[in-house]
Structure 1
Amino acid sequence: MASSATRRTAPSPAPAAPTAVSAPPRVGEQIQRLRMERKLTLDDLSRAAGVSKSMLSEIERDKANPTIAVAWRLTNALGVSLDQLFASQRTHETIAVSGPHEIPTLDGHEAKYQLRVWGPIELAGKFEWYELTLQPGGALVSNAHEPGTREHLTVLHGSMEIEADGEAKRLKAADTARYQADVPHAIRNAGKTEAKALLVVIHG
């Protein structure tokens, strides 16, 4: 989501101090350390988590960032929570700011979609929100989530079509759809221009 702030003009503005950019969390190093502590090979963890060995190797070498679903499977296989995975990298700040490079992003090139994971990692599987971008002809197709799960989709620009349990609705910019997500469902861009939306998932 984008936000705007009102600019205040001071009588004698001082030069702005450079903003410090923090390094992205080294998730791969953490996963590798946990795996080795448990005396697991790449093959062992790959099979236990249902993640391909090549993907796991890329993640451990910090060549790729795991999606929220992949991180969830890896931490479950390692016997830790997502929160614990990042615990050692956190500082006790009153206000924690994440830069663009720290936001996990899932690209579905063939399906022509991009999901940016705006929700904090510790709420994964409970309450999640994403920025969904669909290219023309793109679709995000999902299997049924846990019973009672609902999704809330607000179109920011462009138009999208929601399909859930055999019913379909067309949405234009500023429209919001609320629907069951414990059934097979899909979000599609049937238009000719890029479409973007805020997607909120509340798990059952």
Structure 2
Amino acid sequence: MGSPVEDEIDARLAARLAELRVERGWSLGEVAERSGVSRSTLSRAERAEISPTAALLNRLCHVYGRTMSRLLSEVEAEVEPTPLVRVGEQTVWEDRASGFVRRSVSPPHPGLRGELVEGRLAPGADLAYDRPPVPGLEQHLWVLSGGLAVTARDTEHRLDAGDCLRLRVWGPTRFRCLGDAEARYVLAVVLP
């Protein structure tokens, strides 16, 4: 069971996922077919019975044509976009199953193409995405501490603190924490 703040974020995320499906007039079966996620898992995610994993959210972001940051910013209470977001107000989302913590650093704004995200992977964490949320998404990954292996287009890149990897994401990607320390990194994401 998460904290009250985590539970509230999960509840708002569940409601937003249901809204996105209804806005398009899709049934759970149609979203299941488009995403490759079972109807029962989708239903449980929309009712906040489960906290979706990063991989599941990535699949749904792909179906709904948005980045994970945009989806998470849509569950924020802010009505008007703001140019400044203080550290204590930044959205933090945790995939407890994989050991991945994601902080949306950039102020949320639906009209902008770039955003900054802080990622943290626990020792031994292995996070795989079967597709990008938006094909051709540009990413700049800068490792702040620890070691990270990033696989894209069947090529593994091993990164240490200070290293930066730039890539366009067209297919599956994988992020693995190397060593016995947490990997912490900044991800700059730019929509195509």
- TM above 0.5, yes or no, is yes
Amino-acid identity (%): 27
Residue 116 of structure 1: which of 102, 125, 134 is its match?
Answer: 102
Superposition deviation, residue 114 in structure 1: 0.8
Superposition deviation, residue 36 in structure 1: 6.5
The structure, 1 or 2, with the larger RCO (C-alpha pairs under 8 Å, 6+ apart) is 2
Equivalent in the alignment of 1:201: 189
Relative to 1, partners in 2 of residues 1:69 and 1:183: Cα closer, same or farther, differing over 3 Å?
A: closer
Indicate the structure (1 or 2) with the bigger Cα radius of gyration: 1
Relative to 1, partners in 2 of residues 1:92 and 1:179: Cα closer, same or farther, differing over 3 Å?
A: closer
Give the helix-richer structure, 1 or 2.
2
Equivalent in the alignment of 1:14: none
Equivalent in the alignment of 2:165: 177
Is residue 180 of structure 2 the alignment partner of residue 192 of structure 1? yes
Q: Give the structure-1-normalised TM-score.
A: 0.55
Deviations, residues 119-142 of structure 1 (Å, cap 9, x unaligned): 547379x54543322233433445
Equivalent in the alignment of 2:45: 59
Equivalent in the alignment of 2:5: none
Structure 1: where are the runs of 5+ without partners? Answer: 1-22, 77-81
Superposition deviation, residue 52 in structure 1: 2.0
Q: Using the alignment, how far apart are the partners of 2:167 and 2:129 within structure 1?
A: 13
Equivalent in the alignment of 1:26: 12
Deviations, residues 71-101 of structure 1 (Å, cap 9, x unaligned): 435646xxxxx78x949x6533756758679
Is residue 117 of structure 2 the alignment partner of residue 130 of structure 1? yes
Superposition deviation, residue 189 in structure 1: 2.6
Q: Does the CA contact (< 8 Å) of 1:143 and 1:184 recur in 2?
A: yes
Residues matched between the structures, number: 172
